[in-house]
Structure 1
Amino acid sequence: MTDDAVPFDDRGFAYGDGLFETVLVRDGQPLLWDAHLRRLARGAERLEIPLPDTQTLASLPGQAGAGLCVLKLLVTRGSGGRGYASPESPVPRLRWRFMPFMPQSTYWRDGVRVRLCRLRLGHQPLLAGIKHLNRLENVMARREWRDPDVAEGVLCDQHDRLVEATSMNLVWRRHGILETPDLAACGVEGTLLAALRERLSIHTRGVGIEALMEADAAWVINSVQGVWPLKQLDDADGTCLNRWPVHTAHRYLQQHAHPLLGYPHDVFDEA
């Protein structure tokens, strides 16, 4: 089914008992599709939800038609069970929707301003890395600002260690080394980040905000928007903590990431 009505007793609707993926589709071809399917399978294994048959999943992107769009795919445990107790033999429910999409291309060239969020992510290693439906922490963090000049919020965990942005992963370069936060306890392992780690040496670090303060370049990334250089980091009150000049040095990650998404990687040369 597409985005038909979900029954009142659907466990995804009631408890966030399910998974989702957000896939960039270009002319009917899904980008990083295998990575999305692998993450969906990991999540299904972790939550013990049977996946829809592979033939059904494989057929979805081809329904998009021409142009650039985003496929949002949701899998819930379905209906049944009593309260939090899940059914012994769940019948998963699959829903999807295609949405026209236009990336924020000026952010590729000019960079973005981000802010620290007050909210701290709790640790739950069982759910870390996967894209489950219960994203209330991210929703509450995103409610912390209304300023249209702030493109993203940076999230730390309960020990003030960097984790991610509200809907993107973090990467920075410090002392010539590419680094990204440790996601073993919380956060989502993005498919673009996973693809880049197969191509580049990106080191996992359990560090606080001081790592960004020491970085000579930093980015927020995901498989829909691509790579946005950071130009300014504010604290939760709007006070600037650090600025980065956005120049050709920031092309490095885009050169490796954007071809995977069909996006230009020479945006600074065009400026």
Structure 2
Amino acid sequence: MNPVVLINGVEQDKISVFNRNMQYGDGLFETCVARDNQILFWPRHYSRLEIGCVKLNINKIDEGVWLSDIKKAFELSSKKNCIVKLILSRGDSLRGYGYRDDIEPVRVVIVSEMNQPLFNKEFSLEYAKSGFHSNPQLAGIKHCNRLEQIIARSSLSSNEAIMLDEKENIISVTQGNIYFIFGNKLLTPKLDSCGVVGSRRSLILELAMSLKMEALESKISINQAQKADEVFISNSVIGIQPVHSIENHKLGQNPLTEKIQKAFLSKTKEISSWTCP
């Protein structure tokens, strides 16, 4: 399947060289999973996009416009189960970091084929040789400048890498959030200074609490992580995946991870997440 690409609602795949996303990474993006032409957890994706617009002062695109574009892209695509990527650029401008107040944002929708899900894949992690730099203004949002993750992935010898901040606190893996289970307590790194708040992250914390677990955001050190009973990672495409090793440290069984994963998979089957207009 060739990807279907819409730019501002028109089927095309060429964008201006003056686009600020191309020049500076001045934009936001979301990677969504569609099942039967329905976006899973759409409200969580759109909410993060809105928060990003506020933080970066990008003119917001109305939700109805996005949904109309997505519906059109689905109609042009032959796949009902697919990956939908949304990109929002601040717009086009000439040289310089400054921009006009009335700059028009550029929106992109890309629908592409979904590979087989990675369920039961054995994830092994290592510690990345480079990490995040703190910037509370950018913390949490999914902006389009991802050089920190690109550099971290460039020397991978395992499935994924754990990224740290300047104080050597664990932040995330390169393509998702990370969670540590200690007894009946679930901890995930606090993301108030850097990192991306994943679209599934708050749901996972909610599911853990529904299973009578204590679920908290916290600063997590390497030494603390080594004492975890279970570790798992998440993102919108792979869902929840257990971690079997962190470098030379082997992890055992994953009973609580499996319970959370089962509850999560049950949620993904609820077709009420979003209905195409």
Q: Sort the TM-score into its range (normalised by shorter chain).
A: 0.7 to 0.9
Deviation at 1:253, TM superposition (A): 1.8
Q: 1:34 to 1:3 in 2, by over 3 A?
A: farther
Indicate yes or no: 2:251 matched with 1:244. Answer: yes
Deviation at 1:211, TM superposition (A): 2.4
Indicate yes or no: 2:165 matched with 1:157. Answer: yes
Give matches, 1:63-212, under 5 Å: 63-64=73-74, 66-80=79-93, 82-105=95-118, 108-145=119-156, 147=157, 150-201=158-209, 202-212=215-225
User: What amino acid maps onto 1:189 in structure 2?
Assistant: V
Indicate yes or no: 2:52 matched with 1:43. Answer: yes
User: What amino acid maps onto 2:52 in structure 1?
Assistant: G
The answer to whether the 8 A contact 1:4-1:95 is kept is no
Partners of 1:131 and 1:246 lie apart in 2 by: 32
Partners of 2:98 and 2:184 lie apart in 1 by: 50
Q: Deviations over 1:105-149 (max 9, x none)?
A: 3xx32531111101021000000000000010000001012x4xx
Indicate yes or no: 2:228 matched with 1:215. Answer: yes
Equivalence for 2:3: none
The answer to whether the 8 A contact 2:19-2:93 is kept is yes
Q: What secondary structure does 2:136 align onto? A: coil
Give TM-score, length-normalised by structure 1: 0.87
Give 1:32's match in structure 2, choosing from 20, 32, 41. 41
Q: What secondary structure does 2:160 align onto? A: strand
Equivalence for 1:256: 263
Where does the alignment leave 5 or more consecutive residues of structure 2 unmatched? 1-6, 210-214, 271-277
The answer to whether the 8 A contact 2:190-2:219 is kept is yes
The answer to whether the 8 A contact 2:46-2:63 is kept is no
Deviation at 1:203, TM superposition (A): 0.4
User: What amino acid maps onto 1:90 in structure 2?
Assistant: I
Q: What secondary structure does 2:49 align onto? A: helix
Equivalence for 2:17: 8
Partners of 1:223 and 1:3 lie apart in 2 by: 26
User: What RMSD over aligned residues (CA atoms) do the two structures have, in Å?
Assistant: 1.8
Q: Deviations over 1:212-243 (max 9, x none)?
A: 21111110111211111000111xxxxx1x11
Q: What secondary structure does 2:14 align onto? A: coil
User: What amino acid maps onto 2:60 in structure 1?
Assistant: L
Partners of 1:190 and 1:260 lie apart in 2 by: 16
Partners of 1:254 and 1:154 lie apart in 2 by: 21
Equivalence for 2:273: none
The answer to whether the 8 A contact 1:3-1:97 is kept is no
The answer to whether the 8 A contact 2:207-2:260 is kept is no
Q: 1:183 to 1:54 in 2, by over 3 A?
A: same
Give 2:237's match in structure 1, choosing from 224, 234, 241. 224
Aligned residue pairs: how many? 252
The answer to whether the 8 A contact 2:135-2:193 is kept is yes
Q: 1:110 to 1:7 in 2, by over 3 A?
A: closer
Partners of 1:249 and 1:199 lie apart in 2 by: 11
Where does the alignment leave 5 or more consecutive residues of structure 1 unmatched? 235-239, 264-271
Q: What secondary structure does 1:37 align onto? A: helix
